[in-house]
């Protein structure tokens, strides 16, 4: 693979030195470079392929990074990263000391705003555009939104505010590929579809399809797209114009000549004070790499694969994934209780709820990238006697904290939160780590919070949570379980009851979630040295099994808590608060995620570095015992 033009580009300024007729070759080289690199490293493929021409044209036309480019979600950003000096660093993307998969202000001056979650770009760009205006500078801010970001409520709030302000130096580029990770949902799509039934629209569709189909090259593809997208002439433009935006489009998002001309005209419009402007580009996720274009969902986030065939290495047999155990258990429970409803915020496959949807299509809801709505929607269902189960990644549930507080917990409604990807997530890094849920949930009234030590305990805890007549949260990690046998019958865990895994009177290790297995291994290592360690699987963060914790603390010399979550306000803090209330004092240490940003990298290596493995736990226990030889 040769990339003679791309090899000359280390900044947007280098890109702008090329002639306009060379830019299409740059996009072709970018596509080859991204496919070739991601095939070795893994990463976000289809979204980035679909954004190549748009991002290249923006960097070529505008004076980035002086003109601010803000991307929505980060996984569209690989072309942006390659054009802004990070192409040679891609072989270590998502690895320790490598570049991030998402946008980071600390990584490049061209990353004007960090992006890991969706729906933030227009708000941030509006803030920047307003600040530029306040400071009298001659620059613009460009929000690049797509991959479902427009289904987020923040996007519409920002559009409404920008239109009210009539922000002249703001440009919004809508990368319309009709998908986020899963297909987009929402009333706007339904509204556009209704427009297709109008006679004039039917005639326009037929004319456009016939005209484009008669032309050479890739116009056959655009003829097909025209049948689906001619509707945008009759409604999105009106919608955005009603919000005081100048609407430009729809344009073909993979035609470099069209994009360069369009953005040049938009740049002149901004210079003439005609903003805010919305550019609507129709693209295809995975464009230019046939396997990804045919199945963009499969090629959204990938591991290594063969470029020529698109084939992935055979999956290795292993324990079931936590999300699959969750989904299968929820299906079993739903067969017995017709009140159970499954809810996802655009992550049906990631959470396993696609399996639930297949069995119970009428009891499944994908609300789009709208976690706040998902939670209050669930609260409304619960208020009428149903038992909703929103399955949301820990990092994304943070976005709905106010709704959890006011709409669920204060009203003591029967909502079960399934917190997927809790704990360390590895290569996705700081924006996706699931560290804060324990701390922010345990402070709330009425809710119970639990974490299983393995996949078998998960299925019993889910039954416990669903049957509990109030708010309940079950947090579980990413990936495969431990391979423990799954009990054929589900049995609710008594609320607030811990499990003593092994006994001892030198030290007690109190673990929550999968850290119980690491604690057991540490106890075994210490036992070989003659140190008798009790290991308690707490199971519940709230309510704690205070009686058992106090009893163990009173007879052991030292105490260690272990959690794969944030330390401040976390599980360990809860244990120490309980001991203080019982007037029990003993040497103790809380092993948890420290109060700092934890970057991307191999999950096991991160755990080892933070002491969240058997060796780290054993070291902590030994150090405490050495410091306090007697009690």
Q: How many angstroms separate the CA atoms of 27 and 19, rounded?
A: 13
Is the backbone peptide bond immediately before 616 cis, with ω within 30 degrees of 0? no
285 counts as catalytic: yes
| Token pair in block for residue 62 | 């505008």
Structure tokens at 421: 């990807």
Among this protein's residues, is 371 annotated catalytic? yes
| Active-site choice (29, 178, 371, 455) | 371
DSSP 157-181: HHHHHHHHHT-TTEEEEEEE-SBSS
Q: What residue spans of 216-284 are helical by DSSP H?
A: 219-229, 236-242, 256-271
Helix (H, G, I), strand (E, B) or coil at 133: helix
Q: Which of 285, 355, 475, 539 is catalytic?
A: 285
Question: Which residue out of 399, 453, 539, 542 is catalytically annotated?
Answer: 399
**Which residues have CB under 8 Å from 199's CB, separation 6+?**
none
How do beta strands 588-593 and 558-566 pair? Answer: parallel
- CA-CA-CA-CA dihedral for 347, 352, 356, 361, to nearest 10: 20
State the DSSP H helix or E strand holding residue 343, giving kind and residue range, or none if neither. strand 340-344
Cα 264 to Cα 239: distance, rounded to the nearest angstrom: 24
Q: Find all residues with CB under 8 Å of 447, minimum gap 6, and list them.
A: 408, 409, 441, 470, 471, 472, 473, 542
Q: Which residues of 563-592 are buried (b: 16+ CB within 10 A; e: fewer)?
A: bbbbbebbbbbbbeebbeeeebebbbbbbb
Q: Three-state SS string across 96-108, please?
A: CCCCCCCECCCCC
Residues belonging to the active site: 285, 371, 399
């Amino acid at each position: 693979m040769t990339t003679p033009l791309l090899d000359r580009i280390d900044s947007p300024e280098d890109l702008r030195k090329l002639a306009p007729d060379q830019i299409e070759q740059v996009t072709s080289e970018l596509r080859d470079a991204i496919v070739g690199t991601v095939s070795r490293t893994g990463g976000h493929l289809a979204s980035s392929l679909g954004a190549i021409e748009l991002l290249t044209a923006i960097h070529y036309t505008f004076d980035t990074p002086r003109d601010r480019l803000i991307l929505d979600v980060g996984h569209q950003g690989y072309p942006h990263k390659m054009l802004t000096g990070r192409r040679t660093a891609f072989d270590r993307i998502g690895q320790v000391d490598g570049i991030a998969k998402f946008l980071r202000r600390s990584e490049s001056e061209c990353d004007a705003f960090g992006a890991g979650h969706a729906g933030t770009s227009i708000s941030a760009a509006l803030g920047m555009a307003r600040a530029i205006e306040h400071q009298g500078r001659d620059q613009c801010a460009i929000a690049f939104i797509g991959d479902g970001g427009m289904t987020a409520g923040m996007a519409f709030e920002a559009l409404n505010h920008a239109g009210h302000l009539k922000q002249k130096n703001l440009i919004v580029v809508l990368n319309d590929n009709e998908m986020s990770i899963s297909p987009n949902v929402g009333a706007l799509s339904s509204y556009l579809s209704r427009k297709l039934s109008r006679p004039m629209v039917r005639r326009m569709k037929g004319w456009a399809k016939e005209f484009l189909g008669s032309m050479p090259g890739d116009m056959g593809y655009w003829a097909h797209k025209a049948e689906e997208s001619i509707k945008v002439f009759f409604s999105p433009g009106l919608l955005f114009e009603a919000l005081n935006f100048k609407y430009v489009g729809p344009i073909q998002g993979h035609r470099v000549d069209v994009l360069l001309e369009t953005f040049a005209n938009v740049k002149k419009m901004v210079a003439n004070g005609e903003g805010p402007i919305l550019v609507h580009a129709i693209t295809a996720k995975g464009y230019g790499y046939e396997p990804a274009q045919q199945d963009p969902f499969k090629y959204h986030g990938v591991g290594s694969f063969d470029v020529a065939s698109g084939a992935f290495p055979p999956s290795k047999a292993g324990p079931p994934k936590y999300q699959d155990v969750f989904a299968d258990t929820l299906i079993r429970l739903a067969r017995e209780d017709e009140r159970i409803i499954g809810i996802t915020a655009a992550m049906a496959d990631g959470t396993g709820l696609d399996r639930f949807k297949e069995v119970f299509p009428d009891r499944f809801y994908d609300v789009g990238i709208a976690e706040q709505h998902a939670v209050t929607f669930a609260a409304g269902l619960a208020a009428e006697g149903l038992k909703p189960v929103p399955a949301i990644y820990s990092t994304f549930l943070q976005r709905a904290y106010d709704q959890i507080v006011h709409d669920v917990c204060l009203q003591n409604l029967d909502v079960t939160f399934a917190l997927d990807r809790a704990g360390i997530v590895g290569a996705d890094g700081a924006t996706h780590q699931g560290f804060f849920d324990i701390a922010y949930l345990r402070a709330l009234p009425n809710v119970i919070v639990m974490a299983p030590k393995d996949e078998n305990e998960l299925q019993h805890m889910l039954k416990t949570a669903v049957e509990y007549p109030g708010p309940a949260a079950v947090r579980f990690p990413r990936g495969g379980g431990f391979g423990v046998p799954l009990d054929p019958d589900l049995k609710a865990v008594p609320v607030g009851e811990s499990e003593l895994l092994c006994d001892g009177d030198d030290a007690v290790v109190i673990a929550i979630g999968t850290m119980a297995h690491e604690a057991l291994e540490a106890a075994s290592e210490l036992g070989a040295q003659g140190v008798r360690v009790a290991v308690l699987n707490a199971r519940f963060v709230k309510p704690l099994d205070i009686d058992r914790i106090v009893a163990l603390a009173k007879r052991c010399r030292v105490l260690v808590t272990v959690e794969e979550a944030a330390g401040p306000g976390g599980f360990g803090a809860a244990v120490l608060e309980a001991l203080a209330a019982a007037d029990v004092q003993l040497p103790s240490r809380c092993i948890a995620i420290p109060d700092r940003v934890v970057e991307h990298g191999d999950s096991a290596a991160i755990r080892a570095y933070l002491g969240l493995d058997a060796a780290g736990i054993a070291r902590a226990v030994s150090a405490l015992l050495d410091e306090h030889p007697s009690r």
